[in-house]
Amino acid sequence: MKGLLQPNAESIETLLAIDGISCAACGRRIERALVGTKGVIEANVNFALHQASVSHSAGVSGTQLAQAVAAAGYPARPITEADAVELAADEAGSAKRDFRRFIGSAIPTSLIMVVSMGWMSRPEWVNFGLLAAALTVTFVFGAPIFRAAWSSAIHRSVTMDTLVALGTTAALALSAYGLSLPAAESARHQYPESAAVIVTLILLGRALEARAKRSVSESIRSLMTRSPKQATILDADGDERLVPSSEICIGHRVRVRPGETFAVDGAIETGETYVDESMVTGEPMPVHRQAGDPVLAGTVSTTGSVVFLASHVGSDTTLARIAKMVLRAQSSRATAQRLADRVSAIFVPAILLISVLTFVGHLALGHASISAATAAVAVLVIACPCAMGLATPTALMVAVGRGSELGILVKDAEVLERASMVRTVLFDKTGTLTIGKPQLTDIHPIDQWDSDSALQLAGSVEVLSEHPLAKAVSNAAIERGLNLQPATDFRAYPGMGASAIVDGTLVLVGTPNLLIHHDISIPEPATAMLLAREGQGKTAFFVQSGENMAILAVSDEVSAQACEAVHQIRELGLDMVMVTGDNSRTAAAVGREVGISQIESEVLPENKAEIVQRYQKRGQTAMIGDGINDAPALATADLGIAMGTGTDVAMETAGITLMRSDLRSVPQAIRLSKATVATIRGNLFWAFGYNVVMVPLAAAGLLNPMLAAGAMAFSSVSVVLNSLRLKRFV
């Protein structure tokens, strides 16, 4: 829910842990209390996590926000992101408490049911005993329900607890009234079992719901338990010392033996091993890591013993950032939730009104007052706003968690929704369709120039450039043992190449346009040779110095999974476009290899965003890139997908970050989004449909309060269980 202020650069976000939330109406009221606080920009309450995310100006403190929530009847406290992750992960205690409360209620309730149903001709004193037992069940084991209802009443509001409290109290009041009647009539007006069963079934529903929500937060819990509590660090003199992982600082040397888990991020200093990175990337096969290679917290050394230098610790590790990102996405609100929010805002007051009208209507139709009261109680008990409140957040929590297990990090709920509506997918070529490591494959001198001399001059110029193709040339020269010469007056020509003075001579390395720009003619055989290399999917260009000229060709190998991923995306009915800075001939060759016919070639990096905007006119568009060079295009697209980087830029710019460089994760992410949206729609259909059907049945007197309580408990649990099906997504 948005406040009156608009987001700005100075806005900050505060997280709150909130107690006493029992239904979607609670969340709505908390949001109203927060946005009514001066300085609050936006507030979102996650009913499933019992947490709130508040965006506000710097002049508002977390304590003030907590006080505003407390004033609405819900104890709250500010928490850090790390606290939020831990609270989301620790659902076991809540589930156990709820289950113990249910067991405590179920034992006396069972006795009440046996006596009530099996001893019809019982003496009057037994009825008093049954009523006393029902009062114990209702007000002792069901105490949290009545405390919440009372708190709501004090703050002049009504919630799900209000409905249950009124329903059970009415059943007990009818029973007490029956005891005041003559013995002959008293037995016909005893409902202690109804009150006890209602409370017990409500407690059962909450226990099952807590257990289900514990499964929903499985991904957070798994992430939290991956980092070891202790690690072995090496002192300056090489002595090993076991310390808590929280005491590791940047620059510490840390020893990890086979089977042990890396506690923080870093880079291997000595040794080599195969590392199981499945927790972070979703990739099941261990990867080889040696000196200089990066390692991530939460991954496991499977074979070797290594020493690594810590580079990111605490909340800055990749694992911690993933956990925060998952929590943030799980706490975000989908567009589909807005309808449920609007309904839940008026749902409980509407049910109270329907209950009153039911009582009055039954009396008007000539029914007995007891019958009218029973129908009114059934209406109070059967209604279930909880199902509407759980419909969207539970599906999102499971989907985002499952995505993280597969190496698919989703930024927020809206990203999942947009992904399901994508019509066109744009691929950056280098590092996406290809492996992103171009290598020099050809050197063809024109006339009598020596190959090594041509490569030496080209490498002397290109070593000054950051372009990937330039790196391929300079690296090839170094690998051949050629001594690169000092170069001066280096100049880059965007889209054409570069030039520099080497040993007093101007050396050009670039496309034919670069040579034409310098009034240098290109022989026909050289042009034919260059076109032939481009027809093979290679990037070909010239190196020219004085009267000497040669053609260099660089190839970037197509990713092994690219063809399969393109095929899977086509099966989803989506259009695909390759966007590259290569010329049309090279781009067409790569397009043929991977199976993409629509190609945007010779596109400069700064123009990729314009290409995205052009395709957005046809419908929702996704852009897939490396998350760094393609940041503007990723931000412009309806859905930005960053491939296999996991960097800060990727996580902040892209809507979805793929933690492994496997293009097949793209169709998998789109299918996950479609499955999530379908689950949310199914949940909302059930939640609305249940209330639309069951409330009229209860009002018509066709459901007794006990059956109503069972149906109500089942409705919430069914929504959560339906969401849990997403845990099996592959």
Q: Which residues are catalytic?
A: 428
Cα distances (angstroms) measured from residue 247 to each of 24, 79, 269, 297, 523: 41, 22, 20, 14, 66
Q: Which of 655, 650, 687, 651 lies closest to 672 in space, CA to CA?
A: 655
Structure tokens that stand for 707 in this block? 């059956």
Instruction: Report whether 211 contacts 99 (CB < 8 A).
Output: yes
- Give every CB contact of residue 103 below 8 A, 6+ residues apart in sequence: none
DSSP assignment letter at 561: T
> Which residue intervals of 642-664 are DSSP H helices?
648-653
Burial (CB count <10 Å: 0-12, 13-18, 19+), residue 286: middle
End-to-end CA distance of the chain: 34
Q: Are strands 598-600 and 621-625 parallel, antiparallel or unpaired?
A: unpaired
Q: How many CB atoms lie within 10 A of CB 335?
A: 12
Instruction: Determine the Cα–Cα distance for residues 127 and 112; give it in Å rounded to an integer.
Output: 10
Instruction: Determine the Cα–Cα distance for residues 104 and 454; give it in Å rounded to an integer.
Output: 86
Rounded to the nearest 5 percent, the helix, strand and coil shares of the chain are 55, 20, 30
Instruction: Report whether 166 contacts 172 (CB < 8 A).
Output: no
- Give every CB contact of residue 373 below 8 A, 6+ residues apart in sequence: 170, 174, 359
Instruction: Determine the Cα–Cα distance for residues 81 and 400; give it in Å rounded to an integer.
Output: 17
Q: Which of 550, 563, 554, 646 lies closest to 281 in space, CA to CA?
A: 646
Backbone phi, psi, residue 528, to 5°: -65, -40
Instruction: Determine the Cα–Cα distance for residues 444 and 553; give it in Å rounded to an integer.
Output: 9
Crossing angle of helices 369-382/160-179, nearest 10°?
160
| Number of continuous H segments (helices) and E segments (strands) in the chain | 27, 26
Q: How many CB atoms lie within 10 A of CB 89?
A: 20
Structure tokens that stand for 518 in this block? 């310098």
Instruction: Determine the Cα–Cα distance for residues 703 and 15; give it in Å rounded to an integer.
Output: 42
Three-class SS of residue 438? coil
Instruction: Determine the Cα–Cα distance for residues 204 and 105; give it in Å rounded to an integer.
Output: 9
Structure tokens that stand for 684 in this block? 């909302």
Instruction: Determine the Cα–Cα distance for residues 24 and 46; give it in Å rounded to an integer.
Output: 9
Q: Which of 278, 282, 250, 280 lies closest to 266 in space, CA to CA?
A: 250
